[in-house]
Each structure stands twice: as C-alpha cells, then as structure tokens.
Amino acid sequence: MNPTQDSSSYRPLSTSTVCMLARSYLASGAVRAEEIGDGNLNMVFRVSSDVDSVVVKQALPYLRLAGDSWPLTLDRARVEAEALELEQRFAPGYTPSLLHFDSAQAALVLEDLRGYTVWRELLVSGKEVDGVPERVGSFAAKVLLGSSPLLMPEAERRTLLSRFPNTEMCAITDDLVFTAPYVDSPTNRWEDDITDAVLSLRSDKAILSAIAKLRYDFRTRAEALIHGDLHTGSVMVSSGDTRIIDPEFACPGPIAFDVGNVLANLMLSRLAHEAAGDEWFAKAVGGMLDRFWEAFAADVRQLWPAREPWREEFLVDLLGDSARYAAAEMIRRIVGMAHVSDVDRLPEPCRSVASSHVLQAGRSLLLGRRPRSLEELWERAVSVPGYG
Ligand code: SR1
Ligand code: MG
C-alpha cells in the first residue's frame, strides 16, 4: 500500500466479503464467489450472478508462495491497476478491462476472462492457437514503445514512470532472477541430476559477470514501463482473442527484459517438448517464437518516429539484449524458486534432460557475441555441447 493510504481497514477477502465488494459490478440478484487463484502472490475470486461474472484480485500483505515470513507491499495492487489503465491506453483491447480499484482492500475488480486458457497450459498440452504470438508481440511493441522516449514526450514520461517505483516487486525480480540462482540461497531448488551444472554456473566468472551486468542494466535502464513478468502464464487465450494479464511487477525498466521473458518462456517450452520427444510440437513452438519477434518488430517499424534514424540498429541491439535477459529467465526457472510447469510436469528422465538443456542454452546465450538475428538466436539456444 502506498504510504499515504490508510491500511487499517484492509482485510483479506473471503468468499462472502468479496461478494459485497463486487456486487455492484454485476447484474442484480444473488451472487456467489469461488476462489480461483493458483498464483504465487494474490487471492483471486470469481464472483458470479445468474447472468454474469467478474474477477476480484486482491493483493495479500505477504508472498503467498513463501507464507507470512515474506511481507510484501499492498501497493502492488495500485501499480497493477494503473499499469492496466496505461496498457489500455497504448494497446486497447489487449488486457482485461479494469472495472474498479478498491484501494482500501488492495483489490481490483476485473472483466472475467471466462473461457480463456492460460497460454502456458495450452503449450504444455501441445495446443497451438492461431494469432497468439502475434498479439503478444503487438502488445509489447505498443506499450513498450508508447512509454519510451521514442513516442512519449520526456517530461510526461518521467512523471508517468515516477508513479511506478514498485520497489519491493523489483527487489523480488532482482533477487529471484539475477542473484539467488548464482549463490547458495535457500530459495533455490533443482533436480539432483543437474547439480554439477548448477555448481559450475555459480563458479563461472564469465557467467557471473554477464549476470551482474544484466542486473545493473535492469536496475538502471528506465527505458519504458515494462510489464515485468511477461511470461506465457501472463497471457490468456481464447479462440480468436488474446489478453495480457498481471502487470503487478510493472516498473520503469529495459524493453529487453519483457521481450527476453517471452523469448525465454517459448524456448523453455520448446526445449521441454524436445526432451519429451515431441519434435513436431517443439518445432511449432519455435515458429511461435519467430512470429512473436516478427510481429513485435513489424509494430516497432510502424510506430517508429521518422525523426529517429536508428530503427534497424535498435531492433538488432534489442534482440541481442533480449537474448541475454532470456538466458537469465531460463536459468532461474530451472534453478531458482519459481519453476515452470513446462519442465516440472515432465516425467524423469525427461525433466532432468530438459533442465540440463535449458541451462546449456542459458549459458550459451549469456556468453559471447549477442545474436543479431533469429537464426543466430536459435543456433545459440539449441546448438550447444551435449545437446541432442
Ligand atoms: C515469488 S514470486 C515468484 C515469481 O512469480 C511471479 O510470476 C514472478 O515471475 C516471480 O518472479
Ligand atoms: Mg503473475
């Protein structure tokens, strides 16, 4: 909660109190609620009348994944509400509608994306829905360029970005993505079979230096309002529509962090399917990554201001930087606190094989020359020693 707000009336919602909070956003009549959240951070309810429904997402004052030993700001709910409004401004129709923000309860009343499925779940079950990577690419280009100095007057941009200090959420990313996986942290966990690879990452000076540089870049490069957690679990898909959810990690940051997150989670999916022997879908996921980047780049080219004579250089540099951030995201999803179901759902020995290949890909993408094209990116991610 922001320091100027009074948190004394805050109470974790229950299935009965959430009905009172949401009632006026539903058709009249009896309403009922069920808890539907399975994330790491919040309570999420579906509140339904006989004819319609909304979702209520309430921030808890601690990290759900870790329990009340890890206190966490409620202000992330305000950040999420304001980020959603901003994303709607730059990319109308790409996020769920925000119907109401209750600052006392740190709760958002949102359009219910009933009938949509989390993109990661579709990928895990080997399903491809047309147009999803393209929508995510367009969303990223519109919001990231829209809140960058390329498209927003600088005075307005600095004022806007100052609304998103999001200190504690950035500290989570700083720790879980750029720090803990490379030290002996109690939050880390990995498959026994890859212990040697994990310890060798931690003692590799070139890797530690590359990660330290990325962490510095993440902390200092307030380039745009980034989503901050743009993985395939933050994308909801129906036939014909795709929405991007959960911008509670939104903060001023490097565009490459968001782009790298999408690349990483698609590479994780591809490597997991390959380890499971599902070559056909692995290849399909590779195509999704290519189409995400191509849609992103096409929108960047279209939105790019004529006064700036470095558009193609921006895209080449961005792909290279995104590959570095993708590596950090891939490694932490294998070694760190928050894993992904793409890999964790695999039976052994496929899980260890996938984990090991992800670490090799991460290492290869972190070191050496930055890839300048998708071909070079794939070469670095899959043509690694011991792979295959
Ligand atoms: C402690 S929160 C763990 C992870 O879940 C979120 O989705 C973010 O990715 C965060 O790093
Ligand atoms: Mg989330």
Give residue-wise pLDDT tens across range 166-197. Answer: 999 999 999 999 999 999 999 999 999 999 99
Asked if 120 contacts 341 with a C-beta cutoff of 8 angstroms, the reply is yes
CA 40 / ligand 1 centre spacing (Å): 6
Q: Is the CB of 160 under 6 A from ligand 1?
A: no
Q: What pTM does this model have?
A: 0.96
Question: Ligand 2 centre and the CA of 98: distance in Å?
Answer: 16
Report whether 20 contacts 45 (CB < 8 A).
Answer: no
Q: Mean pLDDT for the chain?
A: 95
Cα torsion angle, 385, 216, 247, 20, sign: positive
Determine the Cα–Cα distance for residues 264 and 214; give it in Å rounded to an integer. 15
pLDDT score of 4: 45
Ligand 1, pocket-test mutation among 38, 40, 244, most atoms within 8 A of CB: 40
Q: How confident is the model at residue 66 (pLDDT cuts 50, 70, 90)?
A: confident
Ligand 1 pocket check for 187: Cβ under 6 Å: no
CA–centroid distance, residue 226 to ligand 2 (Å) = 14
Q: Measured from the CB, is residue 245 less than 6 Å from ligand 1?
A: no
What are the strands, taking DSSP E only, across the chain?
Answer: 32-35, 42-48, 53-59, 62-63, 67-71, 98-102, 107-111, 117-118, 224-226, 235-238, 241-244, 251-253
Nearest CA to ligand 1 atom 5: 40
Q: What does the pLDDT look like over 224-259, one tens digit per residue?
A: 999 999 999 999 999 999 999 999 999 999 999 999
| Token pair in block for residue 20 | 């009172």
Q: Give the model's pLDDT for residue 75.
A: 95
Confidence of residue 6 (pLDDT cuts 50, 70, 90): low
Ligand nearest to the CA of 234: 2
55 touches 21 (CB < 8 A): no
Ligand 1, closest atom to CA 231? Answer: 9
Q: If you count DSSP H runs as helices and E runs as strands, how many of each does the chain have, helices first?
A: 14, 12
What is the CB neighbour count within 10 angstroms for residue 5?
15
User: Which residue has its alpha carbon closest to ligand 1 atom 9?
Assistant: 229
pLDDT at 40: 77
- Is ligand 1 within 6 A of the CB of residue 83? no
Q: In whole angstroms, how far apart are CA 236 and each of 21, 124, 320?
A: 25, 14, 27
Name the band, by pLDDT with cuts 50, 70 and 90, for residue 383. low
Q: Give CA–CA dist 110/53, Å, rounded.
A: 9
Q: Which ligand is nearest to the CA of 66?
A: 1
Q: What is the DSSP secondary structure assignment for residue 73, as one 8-state letter?
A: -
Query: Residue 107 in 3-state DSSP?
Result: strand
Q: Which two tokens stand for residue 85?
A: 């409004």
Rounded to an integer, the average pLDDT of 219-225 is 98
Which amino acid residue places its CA nearest to atom 4 of ligand 1? 338
Which is it for the CA torsion 181, 247, 95, 311, positive or negative?
negative
Which residue owns the Cα nearest ligand 1 atom 8?
229
Q: How far apart (Å, rounded) are the C-alpha atoms in residues 115 and 113?
A: 6
Residue located nearest, by CA, to atom 11 of ligand 1: 173
Contacts for 164 with CB less than 8 Å, ≥ 6 apart: 79, 82, 83, 225, 250, 251, 252
Q: Which amino acid is at 314?
A: F
Q: 340 in ligand 1 pocket by Cβ < 6 Å?
A: no
Residue 105, Cα to own-chain centre: how many angstroms?
A: 24
Residue 63 near ligand 1, beta carbon < 6 Å: yes
End-to-end CA distance of the chain: 49
